[in-house]
A and B are shown apart, each in its own frame.
Chain A
């Protein structure tokens, strides 16, 4: 348990945020702007967790579908389900979760089927929140803060990812990154978490060295939230920028994925490509957060969902191939705030539901399995008579990856996701 003064600062700040029940803003880490040799080679085998959050409530009953379940067949028109035959049939999964049911991946998820069959990918079905909300924004808050119910939102003001990173061992130059303009609520309380959407142009401030010097001086002493954010941004941006490989003319070297990996130009592909580059830069990355939107399919679901699944699957497969050298230290978890209603609506869509499915991918994952308990889809088996029930709390999955102490008050059973 070796950690320097930086780490102490992180934890003190975090606890302050916890005690006040407040969301802390980016702040007090890396006070100096100039790139210091902060990358700590002391923790070379650090595991990196990549969270892919499907915003909007993904219809996981169309992603990992109980394709021949009579209740599934009865509740949905053919366009809104995965079929067992014909040209667009789903991809059959070997599983022991519910041996009597023909579970199939969406036909656009062929890259995921390969990862599943190669035992790198596990599916935790009927997972999600135990709280009864069907609100996107309440459900996302719960899952990012890492609490079980809405009362917990008032008790715990930090995100679960921030709590995990507050443990010793996360003292690299840039322990947490979100591939977005801002960091998500899951990182609330982590003053050093860095939001970087794109590395292609580098991350130096505009206007060259004079601007960098002026900005450093303008933000060096203020105690307001804005000045603290300025300091944190300058430090984090510089830590990444100074390590980006450069061409002789000073431009950032174009990124060349390994193993012939090709990233799709969607949100998932762009985000995961940025994460892959950061992993290879050895900057002590422990947690990367990639948001992927477009899953709130109340209307015209078939085409939109197929495109989303295609892009997501290709991106995950490209990431896995690209990071083959790092496979044992990088784990990806894919989740969404809830699954969607079993019954379709008359807009060729599905409304907000409850239970969903989580995907866990990586070299250390005991894959090729569906994990959890399948509750069934008969009316009496559904949550409130309408939605897939939750039999595995989402925190049970995350706890296997980051430790149960990150989730106060939660005691989950072991799923055995990591081999």
Chain B
């Protein structure tokens, strides 16, 4: 890979703030000792290890935390089920889709909480991986892709499909090849249900998936030229086979190309025949619109082989230059800054295009961004979203976090309900979406609740930081160093001491009831400082 010589790695590593900066972008923040280890071992080495997770599974630490997690389920007796009140392990995570698909069947006797339980389990697993996984960068990228390829698990069939979607589609391809990823998404039950392609039929196709494929998954809204052009020929470059964007005619034709891509959901096929009900992908020839099409100025002949029309649309969309720009801009926004330098976006897009046939295309692109000079230069250009806030606080404060219903409920109310965004855009990545008054108040509740273990998600152990009694000033400064990865600010120290009416010389004893209560409050308040909320 070229273009990296520009980064003076020695100078970067001499910058005391860089390790924490990198870990707040490429991981869910540093744990105690992480920044020092990154400085000692070298950033490139850390990065390359993160970009090649040893396997598809969880490391031992994350596995143990996932195994230990228990979620409560409770509902009253219904017409055809008994009341339930119990705690359960995250048993759905490893199950194949056919084992969970019955939960999507409205005719079967399942209480609502049973049908939504897979969503709860995947949410718990996401929180646990964000805090515990050794493969932090993959967890960060999984969060990115879950939003890019958003599905709404409030819908029962999506909830039932979510463990398979998270495991076999999102996390499996998070650092892989985009074109392969796109097909895995397009053939997933979660997406086929969410964007309705499963019910699309020749004759009057359902346009939902085709439209969002172009607008959100690939070319992007900047390439949607419908307000400017009415006919495909009018789009600049179209008659030369290289249209600069797409219009509604492309959406209509692409929707026809995907007719017949469906889910084994028990739907009738005519006569006595029905699809099985397994949740697996199916192609139904009889539902496919076989006739010729034109997508992005390419002619499709009639009567192609099964799946060929849809796959060709994915090829065209994945290869389009607008897709490279759209995806690389989004990656830079996620990893770097709300308004990344356009020069960097274009350089990243060139790497994207150059590597588009490589199995590790996305890893190579992320590597290029992380090693760019801009990555080392730009500071505090983003606000942590609630998931990042929770995970980075738990990591920095060394809370042995488990996910509980209470914690998930509070996170759901923060504006970032995981797998609960109804719009196909996913949760927004730019800061203005997270700075409203209600959202700010939820951030404070999340931090205070974690520090005081309000939801049983894991106690904050002051002894990790303070081996013996400390003065209030030492505690305030110690927590700032631990959480902010930087020297304490006098304004923050004064704000906390004065707000708590604490004498700076007051003695706080870890392990004592009063000392622990005050030390935890101090930790929470240090995490409410703007410096901990920006990255």
Contacts and interface: CB of A to CB of B under 8 A. Distances in A.
B432 A214 contact: no
Given A217-B499, A225-B431, A181 B415 contact: yes
Contacts of B215: 135, 137
A133 B211 CA distance: 12
B200 to A, nearest CB: 6
B102 to A, nearest CB: 20
A26 B498 contact: no
B425 A137 contact: yes
B324 interface: no
A210 B499 contact: yes
A216 B324 CA distance: 44
Contact of B207 (A194, A197, A216, A298): A298
Interface in B429-452: 431-442, 444-445, 448-449
Interface string A199-222: 000010111001101111111111
A215 B498 contact: no
A47 B509 CA distance: 57
Contacts of B422: 293-294
A277 to B, nearest CB: 15
Nearest to A215: B528
Contacts, number: 183
Interface stretch (B63-71, B76-84, B128-136, B219-227): B219-227
Main secondary structure of the interface of B (DSSP, over half): helix
B453 interface: no
B500 A214 contact: yes
B521 interface: yes
Given A178-B436, A194-B437, A346 B442 contact: no
Interface in A217-258: 217-222, 224-227, 229-230, 232-233, 236-237
Interface in B228-278: 228, 230, 248, 251
Interface string A150-191: 100000000000000000000000000010111100001000
A204 B439 CA distance: 13
A15 interface: no
26 contacts: A23-B432, A56-B423, A132-B228, A137-B215, A180-B436, A181-B415, A182-B438, A182-B439, A203-B441, A207-B448, A211-B444, A211-B499, A215-B499, A221-B491, A224-B530, A224-B534, A230-B530, A233-B436, A233-B437, A233-B440, A233-B441, A299-B196, A346-B203, A346-B205, A352-B211, A384-B230
Contact of A132 (B203, B227, B439): B227
Contacts of A211: 444, 448, 499, 525
Contact of A226 (B199, B230, B415, B530): B530
Interface of A: 23, 25-26, 55-56, 131-138, 149-150, 178, 180-183, 188, 194-197, 203, 205-207, 210-211, 213-222, 224-227, 229-230, 232-233, 236-237, 293-294, 296, 298-299, 343-349, 351-352, 384
A296 to B, nearest CB: 8
B382 to A, nearest CB: 10
B380 interface: yes
B187 interface: no
A349 B534 contact: no
Contact of A214 (B226, B248, B431, B499): B499
B437 A225 contact: no
Contact of B438 (A196, A206, A349, A351): A196
A230 B440 contact: yes
Contacts of B185: none
B506 to A, nearest CB: 14
B11 interface: no
A206 B206 contact: no
B227 A149 contact: yes
B204 A222 contact: no
B448 A351 contact: no
Contact of A131 (B227, B383, B442, B496): B227
Interface of B: 195-196, 199-201, 203-208, 211, 215, 221, 224, 226-228, 230, 248, 251, 380, 383, 413-415, 422-423, 425, 431-442, 444-445, 448-449, 491-492, 494-496, 498-501, 521, 524-525, 528-530, 533-534
Given A182-B435, A210-B499, A343 B440 contact: no
A225 to B, nearest CB: 6
Given A181-B438, A211-B499, A345-B205, 14 more contacts: A133-B227, A134-B226, A150-B227, A181-B436, A195-B439, A210-B521, A221-B491, A224-B534, A226-B431, A346-B205, A347-B196, A348-B199, A384-B230, A384-B248
Nearest to B449: A206
A133 B524 CA distance: 46
Contact of A351 (B207, B439, B494, B499): B207
Nearest to B249: A384
A226 B206 contact: no
A133 B435 contact: no
Contacts of B499: 210-211, 213-217
Nearest to A240: B437
A135 B524 CA distance: 42
Q: State the 9 A-B residue pairs at the shortest beta-carbon distance, nearest first.
A: A214-B499, A217-B495, A182-B436, A195-B436, A181-B415, A229-B435, A213-B499, A347-B199, A233-B437
B423 A183 contact: no
Nearest to B202: A346
Nearest to B501: A210
Given A344-B204, A346-B201, A136 B438 contact: no
A347 B525 contact: no
B427 to A, nearest CB: 11
A205 B437 contact: no
Contacts of B221: 135, 137-138
Contact of A218 (B201, B501, B525): B525
Contacts of B211: 134-135, 351-352
A211 B498 CA distance: 11
Contacts of B448: 206-207, 211
B248 to A, nearest CB: 6
A132 B492 contact: no
Contacts of A181: 413-415, 436, 438-439, 442
A213 to B, nearest CB: 4
B431 A136 contact: no
B204 to A, nearest CB: 5
A25 B431 contact: yes
Nearest to B287: A346
B200 A346 contact: yes
A379 to B, nearest CB: 15
B433 A182 contact: yes
Contact of A213 (B431, B437, B498): B498
A169 B179 CA distance: 55
B355 to A, nearest CB: 29
Nearest to A23: B432
- The residue in B195, B196, B211, B534 that gathers the most chain A C-beta atoms within 10 A of its C-beta is B196
A352 B207 contact: yes
Nearest to A196: B438
Contact of A346 (B204, B380, B432, B444): B204
Given A25-B435, A138-B224, A210 B500 contact: yes
A193 B43 CA distance: 42
B196 A182 contact: no
B209 to A, nearest CB: 9
Contacts of A25: 431-432, 435
Contacts of A215: 444, 499, 528
A387 to B, nearest CB: 10
A131 B524 CA distance: 49
Contacts of A384: 230, 248
Contact of B492 (A206, A218, A347): A218
B36 to A, nearest CB: 27
B366 to A, nearest CB: 26
A131 B224 CA distance: 12
